[in-house]
Amino acid sequence: MTKKYLIIGNPVSHSMSPQIHNYWFKQNKIDSVYEKKELNEKELPDIVKNIRDGEISGINVTVPFKQKIIPFLDKLSKLSKKTQSVNTIYLRDNEVIGDNTDVYGFVKSIKDTGIELKDKVALIVGAGGVVPSIICALQELLLKKIYLTNRTFKKAEQLKEKYPKLEIVKWDELVDFDIIINATSVGLKVEDKIDLNLKKLDGKKFFYDTIYNPPTTDFLNKAKINGHLSMNGKLMLIYQAQKSFEFWNGFLPEVDEKFLNLFQND
Ligand code: ATR
Looking at the chain, the whole-number percentage of residues with pLDDT higher than 70 is 99
- Rounded Cα gap, residues 132 and 126, in angstroms: 10
Q: Are strands 179-182 and 121-125 parallel, antiparallel or unpaired?
A: parallel
**Whether the Cβ atoms of residue 234 and residue 212 lie closer than 8 Å to each other:** yes
Model pTM greater than 0.85? yes
Please count the CA atoms within 13 angstroms of the CA of 76 that sit on its side-chain side. Answer: 17
Q: What is the mean pLDDT of residues 221-236?
A: 95
Looking at the structure, tell me whether residues 107 and 230 fall in a common domain. yes
Atom of ligand 1 nearest to the CA of 185: 12
Q: Which domain-ending residue is among 84, 100, 116?
A: 100
Q: Which domain holds residue 158?
A: 103-234
Q: Are strands 121-125 and 145-149 parallel, antiparallel or unpaired?
A: parallel
Looking at the structure, tell me whether residues 220 and 118 fall in a common domain. yes
Residue 266, pLDDT > 60, answer no
Q: What is the mean pLDDT of residues 119-148?
A: 97
Q: Which domain-ending residue is among 100, 116, 143?
A: 100
Q: Ligand 1 centroid vs 100 CA: distance in angstroms?
A: 21
Ligand 1 pocket: which of 65, 131, 151, 153 to mutate (most atoms within 8 A of CB): 151
At residue 106, the 3 state secondary structure works out as helix
Q: Confirm whether 254 is domain-assigned.
A: no
Looking at the structure, tell me whether residues 126 and 11 fall in a common domain. no
Ligand 1 pocket: which of 62, 69, 135, 185 to mutate (most atoms within 8 A of CB): 185
Q: Which residues line ligand 1 (CB under 6 A)?
A: 64, 126-130, 150-152, 155, 184-186, 195
Looking at the structure, tell me whether residues 28 and 94 fall in a common domain. yes
- Rounded Cα gap, residues 93 and 91, in angstroms: 7
- Rounded Cα gap, residues 203 and 94, in angstroms: 53
Q: Confirm whether 59 is domain-assigned.
A: yes
Atom of ligand 1 nearest to the CA of 155: 18
Residue 151: band (very low, low, confident or very high) from pLDDT cuts 50, 70, 90: very high
Looking at the structure, tell me whether residues 44 and 113 fall in a common domain. no
Query: What CATH number did the domain enclosing 187 receive?
Result: 3.40.50.720
Using alpha carbons, select from 55, 50, 52 the residue that is nearest to residue 94: 52
Q: Confirm whether 263 is domain-assigned.
A: no
Residue of minimum CA distance from atom 7 in ligand 1: 128
31-89: pLDDT as tens digits: 999 999 999 999 999 999 999 999 999 999 999 999 999 999 999 999 999 999 999 99
Q: Confirm whether 143 is domain-assigned.
A: yes
Alpha-helical regions (H) of the chain: 17-27, 44-52, 78-83, 102-113, 131-140, 153-162, 218-225, 234-249, 257-263
Q: Confirm whether 260 is domain-assigned.
A: no
Torsion of CA 238, 241, 245, 246, to 10 degrees: 80
Which residues are designated catalytic? 66
Query: What CATH number did the domain enclosing 74 receive?
Result: 3.40.50.10860
Looking at the structure, tell me whether residues 153 and 216 fall in a common domain. yes
Looking at the structure, tell me whether residues 75 and 188 fall in a common domain. no
Q: Which domain-ending residue is among 69, 100, 131?
A: 100
Q: Confirm whether 264 is domain-assigned.
A: no
Number of domains making up the chain = 2
89-121: pLDDT as tens digits: 999 999 999 999 999 999 999 999 999 999 999
Atom of ligand 1 nearest to the CA of 171: 29
Residue of minimum CA distance from atom 9 in ligand 1: 128
Residue of minimum CA distance from atom 26 in ligand 1: 186
